[in-house]
C-alpha cells in the first residue's frame, strides 16, 4: 500500500478537475432546491456554468484608480483554492502532499484577504464597507475553524489532515466523542460564514447596504468576475468535502487503484450533495441575521471549538 | 369513518401553491436582438434603472420574480452592479435629474451592451410628454435595442420580450 508519484499527481489533477466542474453544478443544485421549495421552477442546474462561460468572454473593466492588487486578487483566490484541493484528501488519501491543518486554514485565509484587499483597492464606498465587514466575520470565523480542526488532531496525535482522517477511519469510536460533535457544530457555522450564505450573508441580495461578500466584488466584470465566482464556489465545495470526509470518513480511497478512486469520488460527491441540500433546505426558512448579531454567532462557534479542544484533552 | 378517507390523508401532502404559468417565446425578433441572444448564450443579467417612472412598471418587474411568472427559469436575473450585467432595463421618461446617472450607468456596463426600454413612458414619454422636468425619451439619449410597450406592460409580456434577448 504505497503511492507512486504518478498516482499522487493524477489523483490531485482529478480532484482539481472534479471540484472545478462540480462546484458550479452544486451551486446550481442548491439554487434549484431553493426555487422548488419556494414553489418556483427555477433555472437549470447548469446555469452557474453557463454564466461563467458567458462572463469569460465579456469585456473586463478595471476601475480608473485601481492598482495591480485588483488584477491579481481573483487569480490568487482561485490559485490558493486549487492548491488546497490538490493537497487535501478529497477523493483519495493519496493526494496528501502536506495537508497540515495550519496550511489549510492559512491558504483559505490568503484567498479571503486577497478579495478584501481588492475591494479596498477599488476605492469605492461599498467596496471598503464590504471588506471591513468580511474581515470582521473572517477574523472571528478563521480561528474557530483552526481550533475546531485542532480538536480533531488531538486524538490522532498529528496535525496532518490525512493522518487525522485515516486514524479516525480505523477508530470509528472517535467519531461520536464529545469533541467531534462540538467541533462539527463549530465547523458547520464557519462553513456558512466563510461561504457567505444565510444567516450570515445573503448571496442573492440586491441591497448594497446589507451586502457583505457581494459588496466586495461589485466592481469586477468579465473574466475577473468569472474567476471570483468560480473561486468562491470551489471554496464552498472544498469546505463541504473536508467537513464530510472528516466527520463521515467512510468511502474515501485509502489505497491506490481505479476502483477505490471511483468509490471515493462517488462517496465524496454524495457527501457534498447531501450537505449542500441540507444547507439549501435550511436556508429557505431563514432570514439574514442583523450584522451586529453575526459576531455573536461567530463567538458561539469559537466557544464550541474551544470546548472541543478542552474535552479532547480532558475526556480520556 | 368519513374522516379517515384517503383524500383526507393524501390532502395533507397536496401542493396548494399556484403553479408557474408558461410564457411564450417571442414570435418575431429583430436582428439586433438575435445577435444579442447569440452573445448572451442562455444567461442574461440586467441592471434596472428608473429614469423617472411612476413605479407602475416597477411593480410589474417585481412580480416577474414571483412564483407565478418566475423569470429566473429562463436564466434572466436583475443584478445590483452594472459591471456584472449585459445591459440596462430602463423604465419611465428620462428626467433632467436622471439623465446624468443614466449615462454613467450605461458607461459602467461592459461592452457590448443592450438597452431595453420598458413601458410606454420609456418609448414616447407617455402622459409625461412635454412636462418641464422631462428631458426626452430613452431613444433620444441612448440607442435602444428592445422596446416593450404597455402602460404598464404585463409581466408575461416583459418576460416574452426578454426571452428573445436570452435566446431560450
Q: Which tens digits make up the pLDDT trace of B19-69?
A: 888 888 888 888 888 888 888 888 999 999 999 999 999 999 999 988 899
* Helix/strand/coil for B87: strand
CB–CB of A50 and B84 under 8 A? no
Contact A48, A233 (CB under 8 A): yes
Contact A45, A25 (CB under 8 A): yes
Tell me which residue range forms the domain holding A142: 5-314
CATH of residue B149's domain is: 3.40.50.12280
Q: Is there a domain that residue B161 lies in?
A: yes
In chain A, the residue whose alpha carbon lies closest to the alpha carbon of B65 is A40
Shortest distance, CA A206 to any CA of chain B (angstroms):
5
Q: Is there a domain that residue B5 lies in?
A: no
Q: Is there a domain that residue B18 lies in?
A: no
Structural domain count of chain A: 1
CA gap A220, A224 in Å, rounded: 6
Q: Which tens digits make up the pLDDT trace of A224-277?
A: 999 999 999 999 999 999 999 988 888 888 888 888 888 989 999 999 999 999
Chain A residues whose CB is inside 8 A of the B41 CB are: 50, 53-54
Global ipTM: 0.85
CA gap A82, A59 in Å, rounded: 25
Q: Is there a domain that residue B58 lies in?
A: yes
Q: Please report which confidence band the pLDDT of residue B98 belongs to, taking 50, 70 and 90 as the band edges.
A: very high
How big is the A-B interface in CB pairs under 8 Å?
Answer: 73
CB–CB of A58 and B75 under 8 A? no
CA gap B12, A284 in Å, rounded: 21
Q: Is there a domain that residue B142 lies in?
A: yes
Q: Is there a domain that residue B28 lies in?
A: no
Q: Which tens digits make up the pLDDT trace of A191-228?
A: 998 888 888 888 777 777 778 888 888 899 889 999 99
Which of A50, A219, A221 comes nearest B42 by C-beta? A50
Chain B residues whose CB is inside 8 A of the A205 CB are: 80
CB–CB of B41 and A53 under 8 A? yes
Mean pLDDT of A142-149: 92
Tell me which residue range forms the domain holding B66: 36-165
Which of A43, A208, A222 comes nearest B80 by C-beta? A208
Contact B71, B159 (CB under 8 A): yes
Q: Which tens digits make up the pLDDT trace of B119-168?
A: 999 999 888 988 999 998 999 899 999 999 998 999 999 999 999 898 88
Amino acid at each position: 500500500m504505497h503511492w507512486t508519484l504518478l498516482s499522487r499527481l493524477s489523483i490531485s489533477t482529478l480532484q482539481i478537475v472534479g471540484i472545478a466542474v462540480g462546484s458550479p453544478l452544486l451551486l446550481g443544485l442548491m439554487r434549484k432546491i431553493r426555487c422548488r421549495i419556494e414553489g418556483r421552477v427555477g433555472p437549470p442546474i447548469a446555469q452557474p456554468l453557463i454564466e461563467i462561460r458567458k462572463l469569460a468572454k465579456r469585456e473586463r473593466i478595471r476601475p480608473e484608480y485601481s492598482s495591480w492588487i485588483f488584477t491579481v486578487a481573483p487569480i490568487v483566490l482561485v490559485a490558493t483554492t486549487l492548491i488546497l484541493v490538490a493537497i487535501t484528501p478529497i477523493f483519495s488519501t493519496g493526494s496528501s502532499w502536506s495537508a497540515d491543518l495550519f496550511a489549510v486554514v492559512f491558504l483559505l485565509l490568503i484567498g479571503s484577504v486577497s478579495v478584501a484587499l481588492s475591494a479596498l483597492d477599488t476605492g469605492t464606498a461599498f467596496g471598503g464597507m464590504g471588506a471591513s465587514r468580511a474581515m470582521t466575520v473572517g477574523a472571528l470565523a478563521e480561528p474557530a475553524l483552526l481550533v475546531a480542526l485542532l480538536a480533531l488532531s488531538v486524538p490522532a496525535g498529528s496535525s496532518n489532515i490525512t493522518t487525522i482522517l485515516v486514524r479516525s477511519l480505523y477508530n470509528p469510536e472517535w467519531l461520536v466523542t464529545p469533541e467531534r460533535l462540538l467541533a462539527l457544530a463549530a465547523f458547520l457555522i464557519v462553513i456558512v460564514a466563510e461561504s457567505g450564505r444565510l444567516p450570515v450573508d445573503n448571496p442573492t441580495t440586491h441591497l448594497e447596504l446589507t451586502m457583505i461578500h457581494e459588496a466586495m466584488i461589485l466592481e469586477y466584470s468579465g473574466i475577473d468576475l468569472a474567476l471570483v465566482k468560480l473561486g468562491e464556489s470551489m471554496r464552498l465545495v472544498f469546505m463541504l468535502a473536508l467537513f464530510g470526509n472528516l466527520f463521515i470518513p467512510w468511502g474515501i480511497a485509502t489505497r491506490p487503484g481505479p476502483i477505490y478512486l471511483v468509490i471515493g469520488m462517488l462517496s465524496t460527491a454524495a457527501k457534498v450533495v447531501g450537505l449542500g441540500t441540507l444547507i439549501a433546505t435550511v436556508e429557505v426558512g431563514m432570514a439574514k441575521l442583523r450584522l451586529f448579531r453575526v459576531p455573536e454567532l461567530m463567538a458561539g462557534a469559537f466557544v464550541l471549538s474551544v470546548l472541543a479542544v478542552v474535552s479532547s484533552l480532558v475526556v480520556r | 369513518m368519513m374522516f379517515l378517507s384517503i383524500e383526507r390523508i393524501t390532502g395533507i401532502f397536496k401542493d396548494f401553491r399556484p403553479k408557474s404559468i408558461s410564457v411564450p417565446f417571442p414570435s418575431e425578433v429583430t436582428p439586433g436582438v438575435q445577435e444579442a441572444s447569440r452573445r448572451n448564450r442562455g444567461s442574461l443579467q440586467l441592471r434596472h434603472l428608473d429614469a423617472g417612472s411612476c413605479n407602475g412598471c416597477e411593480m410589474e418587474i417585481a412580480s416577474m420574480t414571483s412564483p407565478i411568472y418566475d423569470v429566473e427559469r429562463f436564466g434572466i436575473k436583475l443584478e445590483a452592479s452594472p459591471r456584472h450585467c449585459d445591459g440596462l432595463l430602463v423604465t419611465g421618461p428620462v428626467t433632467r435629474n436622471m439623465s446624468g446617472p443614466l449615462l454613467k450607468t450605461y458607461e459602467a456596463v461592459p461592452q457590448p451592451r443592450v438597452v431595453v426600454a420598458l413601458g410606454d413612458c420609456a418609448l414616447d414619454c407617455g402622459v409625461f410628454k412635454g412636462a418641464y422636468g422631462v428631458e426626452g425619451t430613452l431613444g433620444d439619449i441612448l440607442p435602444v435595442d428592445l422596446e416593450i410597450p404597455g402602460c404598464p406592460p404585463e409581466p408575461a409580456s416583459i418576460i416574452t420580450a426578454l426571452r428573445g434577448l436570452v435566446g431560450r
